Chains A and B, each alone.
Chain A
C-alpha cells in the first residue's frame, strides 16, 4: 500500500483524460429515457387543478360533476391523504396540494386521472371551487413588517423578534470581532442595500413521473429526480407505507440544478394510481414548472463595510433577508454563512432572516443562498476599491481567506485554494487586456461549502473480467463517466470494460440526493474503496492458488504478483484471469463500500468579465468571460469545464435578465421561456475555463466538488463590470436594459 501523500502525487492513467461518456450514444440518438418518455399499459393521464390567486381560503371543493365525466377514473384533494408524521413532510404535501388555503398563484387544489389528457382537462374545468380571497404579500421587505398579510401562522422560531410580522420565521447570525472598532479604523465606510430577484433553475425537462400503486401498498415510481431515495422517503411517509414497498427508479434527468431535490407531483400520481387502480403519468407544463415548483429565494440585503487606505477590510456587516415563498426553509442560513467566507476579517457579522410570502416554496438552486449574499458583499468590496482607487484583484488578494483564517461562519480554514485562484486570475492575459469606451471589467470571488453525505457503491467483477458498478445518484452531467474512470484507474483495467448503472431504491442502500456538488467526490470515494475491497479479495484468491500468505501478494496495475523474490516467481495474474477463476476459487468476486462521506472541502472560484453597455438602449453585452476554479483533481476535465461554463451562464442570466415578475394582483406575469428569458447562444461569447488542481486531502485522488461554485461570482462580477462601464453603481438585479437605460438617462 502506498501512503496517502504518494497517492496524491501519483500519475494517473485514466483520471484526467477525456473519454466519450458511456451514456453518450443513447443521448445523441434519442434513445435515453427521461421522465416523460415511459409509457405503461393501461396508463392514465394525471392533471392538476391550479388556482390562479395568490392567497385564499378554500371554502369548498365540489368534484361531483367532474366525477361523472366518462373516462375520469379518480379525483383527489388534500382530504384523500392521511396525516403525515412530520412538519417537513406535511409542508411538502401541502405544497403539492393545498390544504385549507391557497398560498400562491399556481397552488394546486385537486388532481384528476383520466383515460386521456383531453378528458382530464375537461374534468378539471368541471371541479367547482369556492374561495374566499385574502390579502397577499409577495415582497420580502413588505412581508416582514408588522401588519403585513400573514401567509402562515405559528411558524416562528423562538429566537425571532416580535418586532416583525409572523412571516419572519427564522433568524441566525454569525461572526466575530467588534464591528465598531473596525469601522473606526477604516478610511472609508459604505452602507448599501441590494436586491436580487427570485429566479428559476430553468431545467429544460419539466417534472414528470409514472406511478403505479396497488391496494397492498406495493408501488413503483419512475420519475426525473436528483435523488430517488429522498423521493421514496417523502412519498412513503405521505402514503403511509414502508419504504421497502415503494421502488423508485430515477429516469435520465433533463437538468435539475437543485430544483429536482424534492417532490411536486410524485405523491399525487401515487394517490391517483391507488384510487384508480391504474398506472398514472403526470407531466408538468412549463407554466406549471414556473408557477408551482421551487424557484430560488429573492433577497433584500444591507451591507456596511469599512476599508483602510491600503485596502484592508476593517469591518463588515450584512443583514440578509430571504423570501422563499409560502413555506419555511433554511437557505437564509447558507446565505449568512457564505456571505464573507472569501475573506480573512477581524470584525465580521452576518445576520439572516427567512420570510414567508405568497410565492411558491423555494427549492435549492446551485449553491443555494450563496449567490445573493456574495453578490452584495462583492459589490461593496468593488465600490470601496473604486472609491479608494485600489486595484480590485490586489485588494481581494490582500483580504483573501487562507489556511489558518478564522472563517466568518466559525471554523478555521485548512488548505484552501482561493489565493492560488486569485493569483491565476492576476496572471491571466484577460486581466491586462485593454478596454474601450462603454466597456467595463468586473471581478468577483465565489464560495461554496460542498457536501459529502451518505453513499453506497457496489462493484462486481464479472466472470469475463468486465466490471459492473452500481451507484445510486442520478447522472446529471457526466458522472457515469467520472465514476467509471475512477474505477478503471483503481483496478488498472481499460475504461471500456466498466459499466456504471444507477440503481433503483430497492437495488442498493440509501444514497443522499445528487446535491451539494457531492457526487464525483462521494460516489467516487466509495467507488475507489469498493474497488480496493474487490482487489483485496482477488489478492486473497491468488494467494490461495499460489499457496502463499495473503501479505505475500500485491496488486499492481491490474495484476496480482508476488510481493518480492521471497514470495516466489509466479507469473502475474491479470484481473481478467482471476475473474475467470471466480467460481473455482470461492465464488463471485465483488467489493462494496458504504459511507457517510466527510471531508468534501470548501470550494472557491474567481470570475473575470468584460462587458459593453450600449448607452442608447441600456443593453449589456458580455465580451469576454474567464472562470478560475479549483477542482482538486479534474477527473474528466471536459465535464469540469462544463460545470464551470454552465454555472457561469446561469449566473449571467440571473445578473442580466432573469426574474420572477408579479403583478399588483399577486400573479406571476412571466411563466414561460418567452418572458422569463434565460441566456441563448447568441447572447454569449465562449466561456474560458481555467482549472486549478490543488488536491483535496479528503479524497484518495484529491477530487473536490465543482458543480455549484460557478454560479456564485457572475452576479457581482457582471454588476461590477456594468457599474464600471457606466460609472453608475447598481445594487439591484437583474440589470435588464430598461433598468440600466433609466439609470443612464437619470445620470445625464
Chain B
C-alpha cells in the first residue's frame, strides 16, 4: 500500500509522518505521534472529544484526512499549557471542578479556547451554543459553562 508523506507543525514543532490514504488526523496524532491527549469518542464528528485547531479552525480531527493537511499548523491539548503554565481555561476547569471523568475535557478546552479567541466576552448562551458540539456525560455542563465564563473574564482583565 502507498503511504503518504506529510509535513505539518504540531504545537509549534515541525513534524513529518507517513500515513495511509484513509488515516485521519486523529489516527496519526494518537497512533503515529502518540499524542493521546486528543480522544476518540465516536469517530463520526458527533462528540467533539477529538477537537483540535487546524490552521485557526476548530475541527473534529476524526473527520479530517491526514493526507490532506500538508503544511498545516495543528494545535492539540498537549500544546495548551505553555512552559508548564496552565492556560486560564485549564486553571478554571480545575477550580470549578468542571471535569469528572475527564475524557471530554481536552476537546472542550480546545473548543473553548477557539471560542475565546474569536469572542473574548461571550454570553452564557453563546458559550452553550459554541460548545453544543462537545458532549459531556458526567457534569451536566453547569460547571463547564461557569469555568469558561470565568476564564474569559480573567483573560479580559
Chain A residues within 8 Å of B, Cβ to Cβ: 18, 20-21, 23-25, 27-34, 36-37, 39, 118, 201-206, 252-257, 283, 285-286, 476-478, 636, 638-639, 641-642, 645-650, 672-674, 678-684, 686-687
The answer to whether A286 and B44 touch across the interface, beta carbons within 8 angstroms, is: yes
Q: Per a CB cutoff under 8 Å, which of A28, A202, A649 touches B105?
A: A28
Q: Given the known inter-chain contacts A672-B46, A681-B127, please indicate yes or no for A255 contacting B137, CB distance below 8 A.
A: yes
| List of 9 A-B pairs having minimum Cβ-Cβ separation, nearest first | A30-B37, A254-B103, A649-B140, A27-B102, A638-B97, A477-B100, A673-B46, A645-B140, A30-B77
B90/A29 in contact, CB under 8 A: yes
- Residues in B whose Cβ lies below 8 Å from that of A285: 43
Tell me the nearest residue of chain A to B108, going by C-beta: A681
Docked Cα-Cα span, A678 to B140, in Å, equals 11
Q: Are B138 and A646 in contact (CB under 8 A)?
A: yes
- Does A28 lie within 8 Å of B44, measured CB to CB? no
Q: Is the CB of B41 within 8 A of A206?
A: yes
B41 x A286 contact (CB < 8 A)? yes
B40 touches A27 (CB 8 A): no
CB-CB under 8 A from A638, the residues of chain B are 96-97, 143
Q: How far is the CA of A286 from the CA of B137 in the complex (A)?
A: 14
CB-CB contacts below 8 Å: B1-48 with A? 1, 20, 22, 30-31, 34-44, 46-47
Q: Which residues of A contact B154 (CB under 8 A)?
A: none
Task: Tell me whether A646 and B104 are in contact (CB under 8 A).
Answer: no
Contacts of A679 in B (CB 8 A): 140-141
Contact status of A204 and B41, CB under 8 A, knowing A680-B132, A681-B132: yes
- A206 engages B36 (CB within 8 Å): no
Other-chain contact of B44, A202, A255, A639, A673 (Cβ < 8 Å): A673
Q: Is B54 an interface residue (CB 8 A)?
A: no
Q: Which residues of B contact A256 (CB under 8 A)?
A: 101
Query: B137 and A678: CB pair below 8 A?
Result: yes
Which residue of the partner chain A has the closest CB to B129?
A682
Contacts A29-B37, A681-B144 aside, 8 further interface pairs with beta carbons under 8 A come to: A27-B105, A28-B105, A28-B109, A118-B1, A286-B47, A646-B138, A672-B46, A680-B133
Also in contact, A29 and B137, with CB within 8 A (given A205-B103, A254-B102, A642-B97): no
Asked if B57 lies at the interface with its beta carbon under 8 angstroms from chain A, I say: no
- Chain B residues closer than 8 Å to A283, beta-carbon distance: 40
CB neighbours of A682 from chain B (8 A): 125, 128-129, 131-132
- The answer to whether B94 and A21 have CB atoms under 8 Å apart is yes
Q: Which residues of B contact A (CB under 8 A)?
A: 1, 20, 22, 30-31, 34-44, 46-47, 49, 76-78, 80-81, 86, 90, 93-97, 99-106, 109, 125, 127-129, 131-146
Q: Which residue of the partner chain, among B22, B35, B95, B133, contacts A30 with CB atoms under 8 Å?
A: B35
Interchain CB contact under 8 A, A27 and B132: no
Give the residue name and chain of the B residue nearest to A23 (CB): B102
A-B contact pairs, 22 of them (CB 8 A): A20-B95, A24-B99, A28-B106, A28-B109, A29-B80, A34-B36, A37-B30, A204-B47, A204-B101, A204-B104, A204-B136, A205-B39, A254-B103, A254-B104, A257-B137, A286-B42, A477-B101, A642-B100, A646-B138, A679-B140, A681-B127, A683-B132
Q: A600 to chain B: closest CB distance in Å?
A: 21
- Please determine whether A476 and B135 come into contact, CB atoms closer than 8 angstroms: no
Complexed CA–CA distance, A478 and B96 (Å): 12
For the complex, give the distance between the alpha carbons of A28 and B135 in Å.
Answer: 16
With A and B bound together, what is the CA distance between A25 and B30 in angstroms?
20
CB-CB under 8 A for A30 and B100, given A642-B139, A645-B139 = no
**Chain A residues within 8 Å of B1, by CB:** 118
By a CB distance below 8 angstroms, the chain A residues around B41 are 204-206, 254, 286, 673
Q: Given the complex, which residues of B lie within 8 Å of A253, measured CB to CB? A: 101
- Give which listed residue, A25, A647, A674, contacts B86 with CB less than 8 A: A25
- Report chain A residues within 8 Å CB of B80: 28-30
Main secondary structure of the interface of B (DSSP, over half): loop
The reply to whether B101 and A205 contact each other, CB–CB distance below 8 Å, is: yes
Q: Which residue of A lies closest to B124 (CB)?
A: A686
- Within 8 Å CB of A681, what residues of B? 127-129, 131-132, 134, 136, 141, 144-145
CB-CB under 8 A from A34, the residues of chain B are 36, 39, 103
Is the pair B97, A202 in contact by a Cβ cutoff of 8 Å? Answer: no
B106: chain A residues within 8 A (beta carbon): 28, 30
A255–B135 touching, CB < 8 Å: no
Q: CA–CA, A204 to B90, complex, Å?
A: 20
Q: Quick check: B94 and A25 within 8 Å, CB to CB?
A: yes
Complex-state Cα separation, A648 to B140, whole angstroms: 7
For B141, the chain A residues whose CB sits under 8 A away are: 649, 679-681, 684
Instruction: Give chain B nearest CB distance to A520 CB in angstroms.
Output: 13
- Residues of the B chain whose Cβ atoms lie less than 8 Å from the Cβ of A641: 97, 142-143
Out of A37, A118, A478, A646, which one reaches B36, CB within 8 Å? A37
Q: Which residue of A lies closest to B79 (CB)?
A: A30
In whole Å, how far is B142's beta carbon from the nearest beta carbon of chain A? Answer: 5
Closest beta carbon of chain A to B98's beta carbon, Å = 9
**Complex Cα–Cα for A39 and B33 (A):** 11
Bound-state CA distance A681–B95 (Å) is 20
CA–CA, A59 to B140, complex, Å?
47
CA of A253 to CA of B102, assembled, Å:
8
> Which residues of the partner chain A approach B94 to less than 8 Å between Cβ atoms?
20-21, 24-25, 28
Q: For the complex formed, measure the closest distance between the CB of B113 and the CB atoms of chain A, giving whole angstroms.
A: 12
- Bound-state CA distance A491–B139 (Å) is 31
Q: By the criterion CB–CB under 8 Å, are B97 and A21 in contact? A: yes
CB pair B100 A639 closer than 8 Å: yes
A28 engages B140 (CB within 8 Å): no
Q: Nearest Cβ distance between residue B20 and chain A, in whole angstroms?
A: 7
Residue contact A31 to B37, C-beta cutoff 8 Å: yes
Closest CB-CB distance, B39 to chain A, in whole Å?
7
- Whether the pair B81, A686 counts as a contact (CB closer than 8 A) is no
Contact among B22, B81, B100 for A29, CB-based, below 8 A: B81
Chain A contacts of B38 at CB under 8 A? Answer: 30
Cα–Cα, bound, A29→B102 (Å): 10
B143, closest chain A residue (CB): A642
Are B128 and A477 touching (Cβ within 8 A)? no
Report Cα–Cα, A330/B90, bound state, in Å. Answer: 42
Which chain B residues lie closer than 8 Å to A203 at the CB level? 101, 103, 137
User: Which chain B residues lie closer than 8 Å to A21 at the CB level?
Assistant: 94, 97
Q: Which residues of B contact A680 (CB under 8 A)?
A: 131-135, 141
Given contacts A202-B137, A673-B44, contact A478 B129 (CB under 8 A): no
Return B141 CB to nearest CB of chain A, in Å. 4
Q: Does A650 lie within 8 Å of B44, measured CB to CB?
A: no
A478 CA to B36 CA, complexed, in Å = 21
- Nearest residue in A to B89 (C-beta to C-beta)? A28
Query: CB distance B138 to A642 under 8 Å?
Result: yes
- Please give, as numbers and ranges, the residues of chain A lying within 8 Å of B77 by CB-CB distance: 28-30
Once bound together, how far apart are the Cα atoms of A477 and B135, in whole Å? Answer: 16
By a CB distance below 8 angstroms, the chain B residues around A30 are 35-38, 76-78, 80, 106
Chain B residues with CB under 8 Å of A32's CB are 102
- Report the minimal beta-carbon distance from B53 to chain A, rounded to whole angstroms: 14
Q: Output the nearest chain A residue to B41 by Cβ-Cβ distance.
A: A204
Min CB–CB distance A259 → chain B (angstroms): 10
Cβ–Cβ < 8 Å partners of B140 in chain A = 642, 645-649, 679, 684, 687
Q: B39, A672: Cβ atoms under 8 Å?
A: no
Q: How far is the CB of B44 from chain A (nearest CB, A)?
A: 6
Min distance, Cβ A680 to any Cβ of chain B, angstroms: 4
Bound-state CA distance A110–B93 (Å) is: 43
Tell me the smallest distance from the CB of A676 to a CB of chain B, in Å: 9
Q: Given A20-B94, A646-B138, A687-B142, check contact A27 B99 (CB 8 Å).
A: yes
Asked if B99 and A204 make an inter-chain contact with CB atoms under 8 angstroms apart, the answer reads no
